[in-house]
Structure 1
Amino acid sequence: MDQSKKANRLTSIFEVLWVSLKLGLTSFGGPVAHLGYFHDEYVRRKKWLDERSFADLVALCQFLPGPASSQVGIGIGTIRAGLLGGFIAWLGFTLPSVIALVLFALVVKGFDIGNVGWIHGLKIVAVAIVAQAILGMGQKLTPDRKRVTIAIVSATITLIWQTTIAQIALIALAALIGVLLYREKTDVERPELQIPVSRTIGLICLVLFFAILVGLPILRGISTQHWLALFDSFYRSGSLVFGGGHVVLPLLEREMLPTGWVSKENFLSGYGVTQAVPGPLFTFASYLGAINGGILGAAIATFAIFLPAYLLVIGTLPFWNVLRSNPKIQGALTGINSAVVGILLAAFYNPIWTSAIIDPADFALAAILFILLVFWKLPPWVIVIAGAIGGTLTIII
C-alpha cells in the first residue's frame, strides 16, 4: 500500500511538472492572461479544480502580495501533489522564462525586439486568451444582476483609478458588499479540497515570511556581503508588490538604479525583453541578477523575489477550507470573485487590448484566434504559434 501511495505521489509530481512546464513555455501576455491559461488547463482540461475553487484561489492570491499567477500555480501544485508539488509547479512555470532572460542578459543585452512582428502576434494571443477567461469566469461568477453590477463597477473604478491602492481597496470593498448581500446564502456547490499541508507547516511559513522580511535589512546593515544585499532587495520587492508583475517595476527600479547595480539602459531594455517571453513577469529579476552578478546573481534574484510568494501561499492554504466554509467568508468571496471578473475585464481593455489591437488586421487576427480557441477547442500552444505567425504576416503585409 505504501509503495502504491509513493508511486501515485511520484506520478502526480511528474504530471504537475509536465503541465506547468508546458504552461511556462506557452503562457504569454502577463499575469491576467496567465490566469486564462491556467483556467483552461487546470480547470477545463485536467479538472484538478472546480470552477468555484479556482475562483476562490484566485481571490485568495489577489489578497496576498506577490505574483498572483505564480501563487495560483503554486497553490494548485500543492493541492495536487503536496509541498514538493507546489515547488515543482513554480519551477516548471518559471524556468523557461528564467533561462531565456538570463541568455538575453548574457548574450544580447542591447538587442531591440520591441517591434518584431511575432512579438506583436503574441500580444494578440493574449487578447484571445483573456477574452475566453472573461467569458468562462463571467458565466460562473456573475450569474445575477447584483454580481454583474459589482463586476462592472469594479472594472470602471479600475480603469479610472489605476493604482495598486485602488485595487486593494476595491477588493476589500467588494468583500464587504459580498458579506452584506450574500452572508446568509449557503453555497452547497463549494466542495472541500484536500490540502496536504498541516497548519503547523502553514504557521511556520507565515512566521518565516515576516522574520526574513524584518531580519534581512538588519543583516544587510551589519554585513558587507554583496549577495546578502542583493537577496534583501529582491525579497523586499517580492514581499511588497500588490497587483501583479508590472507593479514590481518601480520597486525594482528604486533598488537597482540608485545602487548602480544596473544601468538605466540595461534596465529598460531588459524589461522590454521580458514582455517577449512566456511565464511570470517577476522573472525580470532573473535578468537583473544576471546583469549584476552572472548566473549566481540570477539564481539569487530569482529565488529571493519568488520566496515570499511561496511562503505566503503555503502559509495560508491549510486554513483555506475553514475560511471558505464560513458563511460570512463565503459572502466575501462571492463579492471578491465578482470584483476579480471586473478587474479582469478592465485589464482586458488596458493594457491588453490597447497595446495589441491597433488596426483592423489585428482585430481580425484576434477574432480568428478566439474562435479557434473557444469554438474549435484548439490547445493554447497551437493558438500561440498561430498568433506568432499571424503577427509576422500582418507586419509583412
Structure 2
Amino acid sequence: MRRLLDVFLIFLRLGLTSFGGPVAHLGYFRTEFVERRRWLDEAAYADLVALCQFLPGPASSQVGMALGISRAGLWGALAAWAGFTLPSAALLVAFAYGVGLVGDVSDAGWLRGLKIVAVAIVAQAVLGMSRTLTPDRPRVLIALGAAMAALLVPSAAAQVGIIVVAGLIGWRFLTMADAPRASALPVTLSRRLGTAFLGAFVALLMILPVLREVVGGPALALVDSFYRAGSLVFGGGHVVLPLLEAEVVPTGWVTPDAFLAGYGATQAVPGPLFTFSAYLGAVSAVGLPALLAAGLALGAIFLPSFLLVAGTLPFWNALRAQPGAQSVLRGVNAGVVGLLLAALYSPVFTAGVRSTGEFAFVLGTFAALEYLKWPVWLVVALSAGVGALVWAGGP
C-alpha cells in the first residue's frame, strides 16, 4: 500500500506540473524515474518508450502506466494513471461548467513561460538519451535520418514508418556480439493474464459497436465512441483530435464552438491531451449528467491503453532479451531519439519560442536543469512566474 501511495503521489505531482505535451512528458518522466529515482536505467526506459510508440494511444500515459505496473502491479498502473490524469481532467470539467467565462488564455504570460520551459525539458531529454542510445556513428546517422524524415513528413503514420525502418536497419546492421545484456523491467503479471487483457482489448473493439446498435442508450454510445478513438489513434496527442471531432460534432453532441473552446483550454492545463475527452463528455448533449458523461468518456478513451500495456508487458522482457530483438531495439531507440529531436524543433520550439528574448529564456532554463541541477518543479514554477511578469500584457 505504501508503494502504491508513492506511485500515486509522484504521478500526481507530475500531473500538476507536466506542461508541454507528450514529448515533454517523456522528458519529465526520464528526469524523475531514470535520473532521480533510478527505477530503471536509460536503456530500459528507452525500450519502454519504443514499445509505447508502437502501441495505439497516448504514448506518455502508456509509459506512465507501465512504470506503475513495474513498481506496484496492476493497481500501480491505475495509481499512475489517476495521479497523472485527474488534475487536468478536473480542470477541464470545471472549465466545461463555466465555458466562455475564462476567455482566451492561449497567449497568457504564464502559459508562454511554460511553453518556453518545455523546450528546455525536451532538449535535456534528447541530450541525455542521445548519450546512451546513439553512442556511435551508425546510430547517430539513424537518429539524424529519422529526424529529417519526421520533419519532412509530419504525420502519425510517418512516425510509425520511421520506427519500423529504424528497427529494420538495426536488425541488419547493428548486431553486436559483445553488447551488454538488456536490463529487465520488473513485471509480475503472468503471460496468461496478459493474453486475457489483449483479448479483452480486441473483444471490446468489436462488441461495443454491436451493443450500441442492439441495446442503445447514451452511455453505451459515449463509451463506444471514445473507446474507438483511444484504440485507433497512433501517435497520441494532437493526432486524436480529428477522431474526436468526427465522433462528437457531426452527431450533434458538441457544437463546433464548444469543441474549439475546449481545445484551447486543453493547451493551458498540464498532463495528457487525452483528458480533453473529459471536457467533451461534460459538455456533450447525450442526456447524461455532466459528471457521469465526463467520467465515462475519460475512462473509455484510456481503457485501450491500459489493456494494451498490461497485455504486452508480460511478454516484453523475454522479447527484448533476444539478440535479434536487441538489434532491432538499438535501431528503434536511435530512431526514437531522432523523433524527439524533430519534435524538439516542431512543435515544441516553434510553439514556444518567438523572439530572441524567449530563446535566451530557454538557455537559462536549460542551464538551470542540466548544469545547476535545479529540480524540475522549481524551474517550471519560476518559468510560469517570470512569464506572467514579463508578458503580462501579451505579445
> TM-score, with normalisation over the residues of structure 1?
0.96
Whole-Å separation in 2 of the counterparts to 1:185 and 1:157: 30
Q: Which residue of 2 aligns with 1:362?
A: 358
Q: Secondary structure at the match of 2:391?
A: helix
In the alignment, residue 349 of structure 1 is paired with which amino acid?
A: Y
Whole-Å separation in 2 of the counterparts to 1:360 and 1:87: 42
Contact 1:33–1:126 (CA under 8 A) maintained in structure 2: yes
Following superposition, the deviation at residue 184 of structure 1 comes to: 4.5
- Deviations along 1:252-289, one digit per CA (max 9) or x if unpaired, are 01101100100111101111110111111100001101
1:47 aligns with 2:38: yes
Q: Which residue of 2 aligns with 1:3?
A: none
Whole-Å separation in 1 of the counterparts to 2:34 and 2:176: 28
Q: Which residue of 2 aligns with 1:246?
A: 238
In the alignment, residue 42 of structure 1 is paired with which amino acid?
A: F
- Deviations along 1:310-368, one digit per CA (max 9) or x if unpaired, are 00000000001111111111111111100000000111100110011101111111111
- Deviations along 1:159-180, one digit per CA (max 9) or x if unpaired, are 0101111111111111110100
1:36 aligns with 2:27: yes
Contact 2:99–2:261 (CA under 8 A) maintained in structure 1: no
Q: Which residue of 2 aligns with 1:257?
A: 249
Q: Which residue of 2 aligns with 1:327?
A: 323
Computed over aligned residues only, the root mean square deviation of the Cα atoms, in angstroms, reads: 1.1
- Deviations along 1:93-121, one digit per CA (max 9) or x if unpaired, are 11111111100111234521111111111
1:60 aligns with 2:51: yes
Contact 2:171–2:331 (CA under 8 A) maintained in structure 1: yes
Whole-Å separation in 2 of the counterparts to 1:159 and 1:217: 37
1:104 aligns with 2:95: yes
What is the correspondence of 1:206-217 to structure 2 with a 5 Å cutoff? Answer: 206-217=198-209
Whole-Å separation in 2 of the counterparts to 1:72 and 1:148: 24
CA distance 1:201–1:109, shift in 2 (3 Å): farther
- Deviations along 1:122-151, one digit per CA (max 9) or x if unpaired, are 100110110110010011100111101000
1:117 aligns with 2:113: no
Following superposition, the deviation at residue 181 of structure 1 comes to: 1.1
Percent of aligned positions with the same letter in both sequences? 54
Q: Which residue of 2 aligns with 1:84?
A: 75
Q: Which residue of 1 aligns with 2:121?
A: 129
Whole-Å separation in 1 of the counterparts to 2:121 and 2:135: 21
Structure 1 gap segments, 5+ residues each: 1-9
1:296 aligns with 2:292: yes
Match of 2:164 among 161, 172, 175: 172
Following superposition, the deviation at residue 187 of structure 1 comes to: 3.2
Q: Secondary structure at the match of 1:86?
A: helix
In the alignment, residue 95 of structure 1 is paired with which amino acid?
A: L
Q: Which residue of 2 aligns with 1:278?
A: 270
Following superposition, the deviation at residue 189 of structure 1 comes to: 4.3
* Farther off after superposition, 303-312 or 114-123: 114-123
Q: Which residue of 2 aligns with 1:74?
A: 65
* Farther off after superposition, 188-197 or 23-32: 188-197
Whole-Å separation in 2 of the counterparts to 1:185 and 1:323: 17
Whole-Å separation in 1 of the counterparts to 2:211 and 2:37: 45
Whole-Å separation in 2 of the counterparts to 1:109 and 1:289: 17
In the alignment, residue 375 of structure 1 is paired with which amino acid?
A: Y
Q: Secondary structure at the match of 1:214?
A: helix
Contact 1:83–1:196 (CA under 8 A) maintained in structure 2: no
Q: Which residue of 2 aligns with 1:11?
A: 2
Contact 1:171–1:339 (CA under 8 A) maintained in structure 2: yes
* Farther off after superposition, 357-366 or 205-214: 357-366
In the alignment, residue 66 of structure 1 is paired with which amino acid?
A: G
Match of 1:347 among 343, 347, 355: 343
1:381 aligns with 2:372: no
Whole-Å separation in 2 of the counterparts to 1:62 and 1:15: 26
Q: Which residue of 2 aligns with 1:202?
A: 194
Whole-Å separation in 1 of the counterparts to 2:283 and 2:64: 28
Structure 2 gap segments, 5+ residues each: none
> TM-score, with normalisation over the residues of structure 2?
0.96
Following superposition, the deviation at residue 391 of structure 1 comes to: 1.5
In the alignment, residue 295 of structure 2 is paired with which amino acid?
A: A
1:313 aligns with 2:270: no
Whole-Å separation in 1 of the counterparts to 2:349 and 2:215: 47
Q: Which residue of 1 aligns with 2:179?
A: 187
Whole-Å separation in 1 of the counterparts to 2:227 and 2:117: 32
- Deviations along 1:67-92, one digit per CA (max 9) or x if unpaired, are 00000000011001111011101111
Whole-Å separation in 1 of the counterparts to 2:178 and 2:331: 14
1:390 aligns with 2:386: yes
Q: Which residue of 2 aligns with 1:4?
A: none
* Farther off after superposition, 303-312 or 192-201: 192-201
Whole-Å separation in 1 of the counterparts to 2:177 and 2:56: 29
Whole-Å separation in 2 of the counterparts to 1:330 and 1:164: 24
In the alignment, residue 53 of structure 1 is paired with which amino acid?
A: A
Following superposition, the deviation at residue 186 of structure 1 comes to: 5.0
